[in-house]
């Protein structure tokens, strides 16, 4: 396998961006960071049931992508979906309650960590089978185009998905029918333990896009502004009838594939290089360098997030378990 | 033949259709009724494999009759997404067997998304699937309804007459769930295709907008000596046998479940309470067929009414062979249905 270290572009000047947008980006990134850390802790203590796939380290990609969409645009989520969910605006309370399988969870406790979602914020409950969400996202976009709703759809997936048949079929259909869907690859270099260079003969996922007749671009994914700008352009293009686009965002997991994976298969050299690019502190430092922000302002955002998280945990703990009758409900409409 | 649901103002009572003509009429009416209904599939611009969509493209155009690449997982997944957004796709398959290439989309996604999401989404989606053995060897011969019978979240319809086909397809399209609409290849009556020789393979179909609810069995031939439950092609074979036995004084009650999920078990139990004898005939492999479920239910709810063991006729647990001689040996035929009935009506437990 190759070792792929990050190539970090010179950060853009933030002064042209609205303070509210910058605050929102940091708020969401910091919320995801704290949420995932707390989930990890609750899980390791044996308090939280199930299994978890943390998105620590990938906050800039999910937040930059979701904030570039309109509120009624839709996303599809992956098995590593907590960050995508929070980035799109699912409440931390209903998300945390879902991870505990509680009745007040966003899926009434019947989805769990692998299937979080909330249609009211445009987040289709997560499809955790790799590749399966791409045709469905394409179908959401198909309906949007046919009914002229103006909505676009963003399909989150990982680089491992790019070797699945469903994914290829989806890209082809989206391209031939010019559907308003953005294929957003969170390329964190590893499918569980397998490095991308062991399973693809091209370097980047986006190189495959032209084969379907759509543009593809590879970007540095630990800078939320870069992701935001690229997805905004793709969204505008899709909304104006330009059809689908593939955006590949290079990022890195801070942990293993899931709870019990120490990720020792990753070369130390690669891990160290990527960990230096940790998106949350990096963006914090950039905010502090902007004259409109200071330590007090950034800390206020962080305190606000801590409050939201505490409330979410309390809500999840105090919520009722689902009634056992619920096990037989919602099989059919 | 009983037609209990024939509430109609239809005056053209002589109009006889084949199943494919009835299906085409149903889809056409539904497409006019609801602009969210569309058909999607391979080669459907020229009618599709069994001519289900013949003529629809010139009438409704590219937006409503969508010709696809050979890409089943892709266009089933796409249809799921469109259905989540409120459209009502009808996916036409050249052969029902091809849904195996999209099994994840059907079993893992479509059948479960509503449940996993806590009821947040509904997926009104119909899969029009030609099924069963028809001289094409093992890979174009699966009895798909048996395979998917055990999957929660799927409804399964197996119409056997033109009248039922129209009323059931219209109900399926208006249903808010995934409905597998399985029609045996020998029942369509499409031009150039073999149609089974039976008294019910063509029949009167009203021009009205009528619905047959999913989950309601139909007594296709009343009788009191024995109950035979048979669906799809097996219903036709059973009807031929029942007509012949009638002349010999054996009155067979033939029940067509029409939909396998939900299954109208009450109709079977009511009949068994009258006849005391039960045979279940299907083309599915014996191990996975609906007959096993029905036999267990009847044994549980009505064993006191039974005067004989429950008998199942199904295909043995082998793939479907090509040789016409071998295919006939595998799929239940009229001879075996007749023998089973004769054996069971004479059965008595030794006292």
Q: Which helix (H) or strand (E) holds A86?
A: helix A82-88
At B24, which CATH number?
Answer: 3.40.50.970
- Does B148 reside within a domain? yes
Q: What is the mean pLDDT of residues A184-191?
A: 97
Confidence tier at B10 by pLDDT (50, 70, 90) = low
- The Cα of B218 is separated from the nearest Cα of chain A by a number of Å equal to 23
Same domain, B163 and B255: no
- Does B136 reside within a domain? yes
Same domain, B89 and B182: yes
What is the bridge-based pairing of β-strands B154-157 and B88-92?
unpaired
Are B184 and B132 in contact by the 8 Å Cβ rule? The answer is yes
CA dist., res. A230 & res. A69, Å (int):
11
Contact B74 A333 (CB under 8 A): no
Q: What are B48-68's pLDDT values in tens digits?
A: 999 999 999 999 999 999 999
Q: Quick check: B249 contacting A, CB < 8 Å?
A: no
Q: What domain range is B276 assigned to? A: 218-345
Catalytic residue among B57, B140, B184, B221: B140
pLDDT, mean over chain A: 97
Number of domains in chain B: 2
From chain B, pick out residues whose CB is under 8 angstroms from the CB of A107. Answer: 116-118, 120
Q: What are A11-56's pLDDT values in tens digits?
A: 999 999 999 999 999 999 999 999 999 999 999 999 999 989 999 9
Contact A333 B109 (CB under 8 A): no
Report ipTM (2 d.p.). 0.95
Same domain, B142 and B222: no
- The Cα of A8 is separated from the nearest Cα of chain B by a number of Å equal to 36
From chain A, pick out residues whose CB is under 8 angstroms from the CB of B124. Answer: 333
CA dist., res. B222 & res. B172, Å (int):
27
* Catalytic site includes residue B140: yes
Q: Quick check: B208 contacting A, CB < 8 Å?
A: no
Count of residues in chain A: 333
CA dist., res. A17 & res. A151, Å (int):
24
Same domain, B186 and B222: no
Given a cut of 70, is residue B76 above it in pLDDT? Answer: yes
Q: Which of A117, A173, A330 sits opposite B119 (nearest CB)?
A: A330
To the nearest 10 degrees (0 to 180), the angle between helices B334-345 and B232-247 is 60
Place of tokens 């459907």: B44
Same domain, B168 and B251: no
Q: What is the mean pLDDT of residues B239-267?
A: 98
Please enumerate, as own/partner, the contacts of B29-34 that have beta carbons within 8 Å and a separation of 24 or more: B29/B170, B29/B209, B30/B88, B30/B169, B30/B170, B30/B173, B30/B174, B31/B56, B31/B60, B31/B64, B33/B209, B34/B88, B34/B173
At B323, which CATH number?
Answer: 3.40.50.920
Same domain, B199 and B257: no
Closest listed residue to residue B92, CA positions, set B113, B73, B76, B108: B76
Q: Which of B83, B85, B116 sits opposite A110 (nearest CB)?
A: B116
């Amino acid at each position: 396998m190759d070792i792929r270290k990050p190539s970090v572009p010179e950060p853009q000047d933030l002064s042209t961006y609205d303070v509210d947008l910058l605050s929102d980006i940091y708020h969401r990134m910091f919320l995801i960071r704290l949420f995932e850390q707390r989930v990890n802790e609750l899980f390791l203590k044996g308090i939280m049931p199930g299994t978890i796939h943390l998105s620590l380290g990938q906050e800039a990609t999910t937040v930059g992508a979701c904030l570039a969409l309109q509120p009624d645009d839709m996303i599809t989520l992956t098995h590593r979906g907590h960050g995508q969910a929070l980035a799109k605006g699912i409440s931390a309370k209903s998300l945390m309650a879902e991870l505990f399988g509680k009745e007040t969870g966003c899926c009434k406790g019947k989805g769990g960590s692998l299937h979080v979602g909330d249609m009211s914020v445009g987040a289709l409950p997560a499809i955790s089978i790799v590749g399966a969400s791409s045709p469905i996202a394409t179908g959401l976009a198909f309906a949007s185009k046919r009914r002229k709703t103006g909505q676009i759809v963003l399909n989150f997936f990982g680089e491992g998905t790019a070797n699945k048949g469903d994914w290829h079929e989806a890209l082809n259909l989206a391209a031939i029918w010019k559907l308003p869907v953005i294929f957003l690859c969170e390329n964190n270099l590893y499918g569980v333990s397998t490095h991308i260079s062991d399973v693809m003969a091209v370097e980047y996922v986006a190189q495959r896009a032209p084969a379907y007749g759509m543009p593809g671009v590879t970007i540095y994914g630990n800078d939320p502004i870069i992701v935001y700008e690229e997805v905004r352009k793709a969204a505008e293009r899709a909304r104006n009838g330009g059809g689908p686009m593939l955006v590949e965002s290079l990022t890195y997991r801070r942990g293993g594939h899931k709870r019990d994976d120490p990720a020792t298969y990753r070369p130390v050299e690669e891990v160290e290089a990527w960990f230096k690019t940790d998106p949350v502190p990096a963006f914090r430092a950039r905010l502090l360098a902007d004259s409109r922000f200071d330590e007090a302002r950034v800390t206020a955002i962080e305190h606000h997030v801590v409050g939201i998280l505490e409330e979410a945990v309390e809500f999840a703990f105090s919520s009722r378990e689902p009634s056992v009758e619920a096990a037989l409900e919602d099989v059919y409409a | 033949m009983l037609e209990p649901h024939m509430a109609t103002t239809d005056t053209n009572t002589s109009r006889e259709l084949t199943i494919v003509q009835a299906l085409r009429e149903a889809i056409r009416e539904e497409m006019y009724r609801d602009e969210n209904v569309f058909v999607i599939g391979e080669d459907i611009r020229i009618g599709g494999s069994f001519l289900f969509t013949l003529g629809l493209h010139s009438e409704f155009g590219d937006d409503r009759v969508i010709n696809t690449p050979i890409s089943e997982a892709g266009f089933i997944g796409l249809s799921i997404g469109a259905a989540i957004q409120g459209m009502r796709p009808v996916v036409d398959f050249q052969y029902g067997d091809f849904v195996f290439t999209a099994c994840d989309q059907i079993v893992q996604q479509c059948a479960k998304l509503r449940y996993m999401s806590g009821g947040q989404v509904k997926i009104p989606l119909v899969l029009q699937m030609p099924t069963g053995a028809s001289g094409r060897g093992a890979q174009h011969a699966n009895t798909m309804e048996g395979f998917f019978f055990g999957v929660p979240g799927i409804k399964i319809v197996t119409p056997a007459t033109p009248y039922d086909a129209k009323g059931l397809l219209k109900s399926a399209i208006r249903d808010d769930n995934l409905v597998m609409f399985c029609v045996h290849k020998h029942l369509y009556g499409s031009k150039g295709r073999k149609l089974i020789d039976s008294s019910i393979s063509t029949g009167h179909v009203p021009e009205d907008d009528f619905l047959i609810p999913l989950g309601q069995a139909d007594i296709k031939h009343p009788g009191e000596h024995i109950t035979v439950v048979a669906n799809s092609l097996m219903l036709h074979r059973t009807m031929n046998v029942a007509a012949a036995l009638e002349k010999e004084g054996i009155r067979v009650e033939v029940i067509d479940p029409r939909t396998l999920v939900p299954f109208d078990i009450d109709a079977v139990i009511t009949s068994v309470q009258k006849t005391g004898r039960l045979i279940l005939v299907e083309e599915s492999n014996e191990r996975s067929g609906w007959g096993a479920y029905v036999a267990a239910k009847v044994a549980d709810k009505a064993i006191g009414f039974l005067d004989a063991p429950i008998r199942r006729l199904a295909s043995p647990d082998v793939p479907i062979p090509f040789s016409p001689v071998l295919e006939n040996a595998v799929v239940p035929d009229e001879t075996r249905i007749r023998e089973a009935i004769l054996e069971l009506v004479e059965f008595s437990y030794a006292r």
